Every structure is written in C-alpha cells, then in structure tokens.
Structure 1
C-alpha cells in the first residue's frame, strides 16, 4: 500500500446509529491522570511535533477516550444551538471539532503500523471499537445531520470556493454513510460496520504474523548459492533477529513473488520460498484468512445494498474519478488486450532460454521466472544488480536524489534536525523550507524493516496542513528496506530507490498543500487520483541530472559509469509485461470480489476457486504471472482502504505519465513548470473537481491511456 489512509474511518466508511451522547464523569484521580497525559495537549515541540520522548504505550487508550468525550461535547454544542443553522455555526463548527482526536489518532495509527509492540496491539483491540462507535454516533446523529442538510438546502447557492467544497464533502460523507436511511436499516448498518472494523483489524494483524511464521530457514550456505555477500549478510541478520532457528533466514515480503528468487540458483529452495509466499494465509498452514475475507466481502456487499447499490464496487466507485465499473473495466480491457501477446511471448522466451542449460524437457514454473529472467537480463545488457547497488546508497538516494529533485523543481531545501524525538531510533527528521526560507513542513522518514512493522511502504501525517487551524504539515514516509549490518552502508536496488521517490511524491502532496480546511487538504483526494503525485515523482529518479547526482559509489563517490548507467536504464522495460500483468491480475481479483451481491459470496473453502475463475474470465489466469497479491493476503483490499479500488494504481499511472510528458516537453527540472504543477495540482488538495485539476495542468480533456503502454515499453498502443 503506497499511501496510508491512516484513519480506520476512511478504510471502512463507518456509519451506525446514535449512541448515548452523555459525557462520562470521572474521579479526580482519573481526571488528573488524563490531564497529565502528554497526548492531551498540543506538543510544545516546534510546529506541534509529537513528543515521543514522553508518549508511552499506556497513554493512547485514555487519551483517545478523553478526546472522544471532548469532541462529543463539541458536537453537542452544535446540535444544541438554538439559532438557525448556518455554514458558520454548523459546518464550520463541525470542521473545527475533534482536533485533539485527530492529533491523538494520527499518532496512534502511525505506531500501530510502523512499530506495533504487544502493548500497542493490545491497546488497538480496545481502541478500534471505541472509534467505530464514535464515528457511528456522529454520522447518525439526526440533529447534527439535520442542521447540515438545512445549510446544504438553503445556503449552498451562496457559497463559493473552499466553503462550497467543504459543505459538499461534509454533506456527502453523511449521506454516503447512511444518514438518509430509515431507522431499521440504520440499525443493521451499525452491526455491519462494527463487524467490518473488527474483521479488518484482525486481517491486518494476521498478515505480519503469518509472514513471520512461514519465513524460510536455511542451515547450509551452499543452498544460498547465487546470492550476493550483502544478501547473505542480510539473511544472517534476519536469522539472528528472529530467534536463530538456523544460520540463515529468508523473510517473506508482502507481495506474491519474492525478490530474492532472482538470485537463488537452488531450484528446490526457490520452490520452498515461493510456496511459503503463496500459501502463507490460504488455509494450508497455521493461518487462514479466507473466513475473514468472505465475511468482509459479504458485509460490504450488504452495506452497498442497504445504500441502494447493486454491489460494493458500484457504491465505492460512485465517489471517485472512474465513477462506475463499466469505465474501470473498459480501461482495463485496453491494457489487457495489449498485454496478453507480449506476456505470452516473454514466457515462451524465458522457457526457451532456461532449456538451453536445463534440457529440452524443462518446464518453467512461477518460482523459476524471476531467476531466468534475471539471467537473461544480465546476458542481454551485460550487467547485474550487484554491480549497480553500490551506487544506490540509501543516504545518497535520499539527499542527493529525492531532496535534490524537489529542490530543483520546487525550490525546496531540507535540513536534518536532531532535537525532535522519534518512535524509533532508525528514524530521521528534516525541516522543509520553501525557496524564500519559510518553513513549510516537517518530514520524518522510517525506512528499515523490523518485526513490529507491517509490510509495504506508505505515507501519512501526524498533522495535516490547514490555514484554518494554523497547522503546518508534519509528514512521514515508511518503507521496509533491509538495513545493513552495523558499520556497513545500506545499498538499495533500483526498485527500492524508485520506491523512495514514489513515497516522497505522496509526501510532497502533503507538504505543499495550501488549503484552508483540514478536511480538504493534502492527500484527501479520490483514491484514483491520490497516486498521481507519487507515480509522477518516480520519473525524476531516471532524469540524467538527478540520477548522476545521487547514483554515486558509496566508497569512492564516483558517479555511475556512463556505460553501466546506459545498460541499467536501458533495461528498465525488460520483460515489462510481468509487472503490468501481476498488477492487472490483482486489480481484477479485487473487482471480482466486490462486484458480487451478498448472496453470491462464495464459502471460505471456495474462495481460491473463485479467484481462479475470476482471473480466467478476464483472460488473466496465468500460473507464470500470478496476482501481485492473492486474495488471502491482499491487505490493500481486506485490511486497508483500497476495496474495489486497486485499479487506481494503474489509473493514476496514466495520469502520472501524462503529467511527466508535459514536464518532458516543457523542461523536467524547470522551476516554472514545477511551480505551475505545485500551484495547480499539489497545493490544491480536494478543493476542486479532480478531472479539472488534471486538465488545467496538462491541457488534456481526458487521460491518454496509450501513453502508459508506451512508457512501459509496449509498441502496440491501446
């Protein structure tokens, strides 16, 4: 998941019936304990940065309870107002409410995903139901919605700009939650949402435990032939940090294919690693998420039906750029038709290559593909990943690449500071300064994997930008790179370097926000637009001036030789059908589940069969190119905020390629173009219609999907 939708409320679309609104009373001892809780008052650190030197795991639950009570009182003040509802006394008052809860929950949800200790996990089990019930309480507060609806009906025509957008978004959020439902359906919605919150939490907690359980242990270094010295060192380090059951440990990452397979010569070990990955949660081992999956799917479908939609996909897509499943499938069919011939040709070529050394009867298996593809790539382009990794020192990629590009394009400068505490010693913190020296934001980065962190990479915020609240953005990126042993530099692969640029694109979307209202600022945009800034920012990684600035040997400081650079960059689209195919397959799995009615959801023991039939139906059933995430470990969909929305990565990539094309035509590192993109896109948040935002910058009336295939090296256009 590349952007972290950090509130459960966004992930589940919670809405239920009204709960008792009376504030609880407490003893003086309890009240004093809450008052001394470091989360209950804004931090005294610069810009309100979280004071992790004082925050303990024990503080979150009481702080969240107190913050809920505080906002409950703020909501009561709105509903008890005897004056006629207006934008100021109702919608704006609602926007002002809940600052403490926003602050506390933003910090809490960061640590639940990036550093989930047993204490945090225990607190989460109590906190999620509390937040679920409170969001239900708000969204089905009849008096509150009545006032909002009155403003919508009587004052909307007089509003302009962000005020109008805020009213529309607030009103729509209540309606989509079910505020117009009859009482009996509200009651059922309450039950559905409580169950969904618990199921999604359980699913998210299961995945890292399952990945840890199926880690592949190896005693004999000979079995690891083909791995580099740095990879071997990492396997030793992972073994030590996980209890030392054997000398080496291969950790399973969150995707289906495991990157380490590209180097392992031992076919039997490749098969073990691949099977550990695909079977981690499918019921063949200690963990089985299929019962959770089918329950989540059924409840989502029923929720959509209560809201008057055919299925959950129809309900979800009604609120994004794509609008409906017909548009999404039309988009996907264009890509699939161009993808299939190239994918088949690639598979045949890889198998033929393998047979040159393995014999004419060799049958290529999915656990073989990355290995032989990597060998073909080395032979065709005459270089290996081990040759280029010394030029991708993580510190240089960040400072001389990611930050340098942002300086050239947007005029930003970054200064590391050491006075702000963090939740983990691996983190770094930077001041973000505008071209005129004005402080724009704080940026935290947490790049290294650990057992307490979920898989993947994401961005979120401790605090969003808001002129109305007087807030500067405090943004963070989280990744899962393997940290080198002490005393050695952490060297990245090209894909990992691109991930840093990607996540920083999200960070820029938050940092450069210039909006009045917290609700509309930063990345608070439609799911199929939110990946545009991040995917576009990847394009800077390969621009010659930027590349030459960061791709320097960690020992000598010398730039990557032109010949090696030419080989590496020239190989980027080698066997590109694989990356597109695994994404298309995952996308279609997601849509297939969410296009079912509640009565069509299969039983848990038929879930894998359903995935197979769904892929076959769209022509994507291919053992050689499995989904990037299979049903049983698809956290974006079952534990995160991308249900019926995984297509958005490809959709947004089209937007990003179109934007990159505009930059390339007008000067990719030109401040004039960067400032225009900042003013028209990055700063606007959700204050305007998003297609208009896209068109205003690119000049295109609609996204050009053909550009995506061209960028991925496909000769045939769509």
Structure 2
C-alpha cells in the first residue's frame, strides 16, 4: 500500500477558508481554490488544468502561513479551541490541493506534472520546517497539552478525540524536534529539505529506470510458452513504449517477474530477470545508490540529533513494535522456522527440473517460477493459464470485492458515470451504507501505463471528518495489464488478492467515523495500517465469494468444482518463496536503518553492504532474492516505509488472528462485520491500537504461531 505522500508530517490537514479581497479573483478562476460543486466535493477534472497546480499551491501555502500566524498572534490564553483545533483547521485548502496533485504524480505523472512537482516539494518542505520549528506556536500547543495533565500524569479536562488530537499534535511536534536547541533545529531543517529533494530525485530516476528496463523481443517464437493473450499484451506494450521491436516485456516493480512462469526460452528468462535486478544499480545508465547512501546517512543523523542510536530506533518508537529489538525477535523466529522449508522447496524444484533439463542442471532464480509452475501442473494438475479466464477484472471487482463488502459490512456500490476522472481507465462508485445513506466515493485505477509508478496502493482525495461534515473520497491504484481492445483483462491469482488487499485499505477509509481529519481513516501506525488490507485478502478464497466472481469471461459460468478445488488447494503450493522474499526485503530495510550515520556505506559500497546484510541474517539465498533490492526499494526510499517494511509480516499476524475470529463466528457473518466496523475500521487513530485489536479478538496479545500455518508452512 501507498499512503498519502506526507506533505505535513506534523499532520497539517486543513485551512480556515478566510477569503480576502486580494485573492477572490484568483479563487474564482482556479478550480483548485474553490469548493467543488460535484457530489461529495469530488475534484472536477473537467476544469482542472495542469497550469492550475502551481498557483494553487502558492496561494494555499500562503493561506496556511497566515492561519498559523493568527494562532501565534492570539493574545488570549492557549486553549483547545484557539490553538489545537485552530491548528487542525490551518491547512485544509493545502490538503485538498495536495491530495489531487500528488495522486497524479503517482498514477499519471506526465513530464509537465513532474516539473511542477520539482518546484512544489521544496516549497512544502520549507513550510513544514517553518511550522515544525515555530517556537511560539509550539509553546501554545505545549501549554494546552501540559495543562491537561495532573501530577499523576492523568488527564484533567479533555476527553475522547479532543484528548487524542491534542496528544498526537504535541507528539508530532516533539518528534520533529520542537524541543531541540537552535543549532540542532537549524540542522534538522537542512536535513528535511535535502531528504525531500532526494526523494524527488528517487521517484524520477526509478520511474525512468523501470521504463528503460523493458526487454524487447523481435520474434514471436521467442515468446513460446506464453498464451496468445499474453503475446498480444507484449505486442501492445511494445506499441505503447515506442515500438523498438514487435514485442516488449515490461518490468514490474518486484524482483521476480510473473511472466517467467510460462516463458520457455531460458536465455530470454535470464535477460528479463537481469533487467529486473539491474534496473537501477549502475550496470546501465540508471543508478540510485548515491541517493540511497545519502538518504540513509541523513536519516541516521536526524535520529542521532533526536537522541536515538539509529533511524530504526527513532521510527519504531512511534509504532506497536516499539523497538528494533522487538522486530528482530519476531523476524528471527520466522527465519528459523522458514529456512529448512525454503531449502527443501528449492531442492524439490531443482530435482524436478533435472528430470527434463539434465542431471547437471543448476536451478537459477529465473528458472524457479518456470519449473515450479510445471511441477505444480504435474502434481496438482493446475496452471495459471487454466484459471485466468475465470478472473476477469470487472467480475473480481463487482462480484468479488464489492460482493464481500456487501455481505460482511452491508455496503452497496453504484457506478457514477457523472464523476470526472483523471484518466479514462478509471471508474467511480458511490458507496451506499445499509441504511441507504451515501457513505463514500470510491475510484478504481487498475491498469499499468508508462506514467504510473509500479506497485499498488490506496489513497484519497478527501478523508472522512465529522468536524468538516466531510465524507471520504478514496481510490485504489494497481498495475495490472490492460488487454488489447476487444479482449478481456484477465488477472493472475496474485493480482486478484492484490485487489482485495487494496480494498481492505479502502474500507479503512470508507468506514471511518471520526471527528477529526488528522485521526480518521488510515492515520494509524505503520504496523497496524496493513492489518485491514491483509485481512481483507482472506475473503478472496471464501467459497461463497469465490464462486460469485470466479466466472468464465465468455460464458459467465462459475469455475467448475474440480478446477476450483485444485486451484484453492494450490494457493500455498511452495509458499516458502513468498515468505522468504518478504523476509529478505524486510531485513534489508532494517539493516540500512540500524546504522549510525558514520557507518552508512557509500554508493560504491552499497551493493556489497546488501550482500553482507543478507548473509549475516541468514537470508543470502540466490534462489530467493529480496522482493525489492536496495536500488529499487521504493517503499523505503520513495515512500513512507523506512524501517517499517516489517509491518507487512507483523500485521499479517494480526490479520490471521482476526480471520480466525471471523471463521469461528461465520466468515460472512454481518454481526461480526459490524463488530469489526465498530471496534476497528471506523475508529481511525482515536484510541490505543492494541486495545482495538484486543476488544475485537478477545486476545491480550497477537498470536504469531498461526502465521506459518496460514501460509501453508
């Protein structure tokens, strides 16, 4: 998942709409500076032009500055209303403009949008620094916060979300360095500006690297093993990427490439795999290691200024896990149990391959998916091509993702063709609750294109807030292949579960029922936010849900019972790989962020550091490389998961525990669904996250023992 690109790490999210005459003309002319007249306040992409963004940012940033200054200039004693609530209100317009713009930088980044982003990011970082280190502002916030505590550290006046909002805003300022002396504040400002610049460079460089990593194929016979639909997709991809050859194999964001599953040509498999792993490591014209090294050093320095030994300790202090030691204890337990299973799995595949490839055949990582699929076909009589005709993207969405949400949470979905979209591939749906009232607006954007970064994520043009009488406007973005005109867009099982996963995040935003924007929806710790999405994946394989969406794209017939049984029983076939690639990526993330600044390797040393880090933790395995290698690990260097990628495994434990509760009570039981809504999905960050988990499950602590079992290990 990709959460909203953080513009205001302090949580600035709104602006008092304070029109003054000098700006009224600008507001009337620029649609980004006007309240939308569309349903839900949806952005009007029929009116918004590229040239609107920069002046909208300039105006909204100045308005935010004015609003912050008004708080500082207030001569009345600091109160919740005139300080905390005023701060919550101070950047509303900027939040609205930012959410629209940064949706495009991620999903439809034209060169023009990219140029504007380069100008906007420093402006936003400057504003963030101004606010983070505004002493008079922090003194007022601190006064409200401190006045609410008695001598025994209990709260006096504020209750509920008012108390939580005060706490979160105060802690945000402290974590940004509001208590630092002047010289260290000045250095933190410099670090923040440079990290912002580096992340901008990273995003541009990685997207260019992925686009240039395309593998061109001259002859159709070289694509032997692929289905006709996949070959047609390669032809379409070649056309959309310049037509340098009749066919193109596009590199996706992860290390392994699903297309290797069926590609008979071993030399081409190797070429595709190497294009993936070397996309940005300097073996071609793209090299991200200099960015990685500098960013890691700056993050480490930032943590040291804040009094932490490394960035991981600083980052994890604000999570469920709390410390790197707790995360490593969790990971090392998994690694110990996983390793023998992974070794046995690799041996089985290699022995199988030698039956046809020869006794001296050595299995390579680009062979693994290919021979594993053949082994799966022989042992379980199942292949991806056999089931893909039953996974039409539209049926998965309407008859699977939406159907599950209706059965469990009582939601219905009505397509809105009157809502403007930023790209023709998108769709918009009104979400209607079981009482018949509108609950949210939900967009889908599922197909890959050169202007979209890799991966899949959830975000929103607008968060839920009772304070602002605001319903959520949420979107999901994926990178599935769009079939040529007239052909169905069919998904792999992994892409099916990805759709369910991202919609789990969407539900966290859609079902939010919080007073304040800052606390609503997915505004929770990184190692909790992935839980609703991981849990929502479980609905994909529940028989009633599966039967409803797994229908042949031509006949509409359900997947035959025999094929369904074989398919579902194969889900965890040789599943050590998926766990291993995740563990390796997780440990790379932590290895980089456990370093003190003086020990961060240079760009030239980065590749060797990666190798040694994996060796030391016991995960250096040629057969199971990290899901993301350092040079293209966008979660960590371009997103918000620095020292946090472990959260996928951590929250998978929570998700499995919650799925067990649903299984015990009835997997599609509406009462259990309402309980999940009331105790977790609606509550955002308004309470203690572990208590939310415990209130729903009845468990004092998560039970990690069920994770390997759930993965078939």
Does the CA contact (< 8 Å) of 2:395 and 2:550 recur in 1? Answer: yes
Q: Which residue of 2 aligns with 1:116?
A: 109
1:493 partnered with 2:486: no
> 1:39 aligns to what SS in structure 2?
helix
Does the CA contact (< 8 Å) of 2:4 and 2:99 recur in 1? Answer: no
> 2:429 aligns to what SS in structure 1?
strand
Give the Cα–Cα distance (whole angstroms) in 1 for the partners of residues 318 and 172 of structure 2. 10
* Alignment of structure 1 residues 664-683 onto 2, 5 Å: 664-683=663-682
Q: Which residue of 2 aligns with 1:547?
A: 546
Give the Cα–Cα distance (whole angstroms) in 1 for the partners of residues 592 and 75 of structure 2. 47
Q: Which residue of 2 aligns with 1:320?
A: 319
Q: Which residue of 2 aligns with 1:175?
A: 174
Q: Which residue of 1 aligns with 2:92?
A: 99
> 2:256 aligns to what SS in structure 1?
coil
Q: Which residue of 2 aligns with 1:75?
A: 68
Q: Which residue of 1 aligns with 2:531?
A: 532
Q: Which residue of 1 aligns with 2:15?
A: none
* Alignment of structure 1 residues 590-605 onto 2, 5 Å: 590-605=589-604
* Superposed displacement of residue 4, structure 1: 2.3
> 2:33 aligns to what SS in structure 1?
coil
Does the CA contact (< 8 Å) of 1:203 and 1:289 recur in 2? Answer: yes
* Alignment of structure 1 residues 61-72 onto 2, 5 Å: 61-72=54-65
Q: Deviations over 1:532-574 (max 9, x none)?
A: 0001000000000000001011111110001000001000111
1:127 partnered with 2:120: yes
Q: Which residue of 2 aligns with 1:291?
A: 290
Q: Which residue of 2 aligns with 1:269?
A: 268
* Alignment of structure 1 residues 231-310 onto 2, 5 Å: 231-310=230-309
* Alignment of structure 1 residues 499-510 onto 2, 5 Å: 499-510=498-509
Does the CA contact (< 8 Å) of 2:164 and 2:686 recur in 1? Answer: yes
Q: Which residue of 2 aligns with 1:86?
A: 79
> 1:684 aligns to what SS in structure 2?
coil
* Superposed displacement of residue 186, structure 1: 0.5
Give the Cα–Cα distance (whole angstroms) in 2 for the partners of residues 447 and 551 of structure 1. 18
1:46 partnered with 2:34: no
* Superposed displacement of residue 31, structure 1: 6.8
Provide the aligned length of Structure 1 versus Structure 2: 701
Does the CA contact (< 8 Å) of 2:5 and 2:639 recur in 1? Answer: no
Q: Which residue of 2 aligns with 1:140?
A: 133
Give the Cα–Cα distance (whole angstroms) in 2 for the partners of residues 582 and 625 of structure 1. 6
Give the Cα–Cα distance (whole angstroms) in 1 for the partners of residues 11 and 571 of structure 2. 42
Does the CA contact (< 8 Å) of 2:210 and 2:251 recur in 1? Answer: yes
Give the Cα–Cα distance (whole angstroms) in 2 for the partners of residues 397 and 224 of structure 1. 28
Give the Cα–Cα distance (whole angstroms) in 1 for the partners of residues 426 and 696 of structure 2. 35
Does the CA contact (< 8 Å) of 2:110 and 2:451 recur in 1? Answer: yes
Does the CA contact (< 8 Å) of 2:4 and 2:460 recur in 1? Answer: no
* Superposed displacement of residue 34, structure 1: 5.0
Does the CA contact (< 8 Å) of 1:528 and 1:651 recur in 2? Answer: yes
* Superposed displacement of residue 426, structure 1: 0.9
Q: Which residue of 2 aligns with 1:387?
A: 386
Do the aligned partners of residues 119 and 27 (structure 1) sit closer, same or farther apart at CA in structure 2, a change above 3 Å counting?
farther
* Superposed displacement of residue 98, structure 1: 1.0
> 1:450 aligns to what SS in structure 2?
coil
Give the Cα–Cα distance (whole angstroms) in 2 for the partners of residues 111 and 311 of structure 1. 34
* Alignment of structure 1 residues 428-507 onto 2, 5 Å: 428-507=427-506
Give the Cα–Cα distance (whole angstroms) in 1 for the partners of residues 306 and 634 of structure 2. 25
Does the CA contact (< 8 Å) of 2:191 and 2:298 recur in 1? Answer: yes
Q: Deviations over 1:428-476 (max 9, x none)?
A: 0000000010100000110110110000000001000000011000000
Q: Which residue of 1 aligns with 2:625?
A: 626
Does the CA contact (< 8 Å) of 1:3 and 1:503 recur in 2? Answer: no
* Alignment of structure 1 residues 650-661 onto 2, 5 Å: 650-661=649-660
* Superposed displacement of residue 603, structure 1: 1.1
Give the Cα–Cα distance (whole angstroms) in 1 for the partners of residues 634 and 267 of structure 2. 28
* Superposed displacement of residue 33, structure 1: 4.1
* Alignment of structure 1 residues 392-431 onto 2, 5 Å: 392-431=391-430
Does the CA contact (< 8 Å) of 2:585 and 2:628 recur in 1? Answer: yes
TM-score, normalised to structure 2, is 0.97
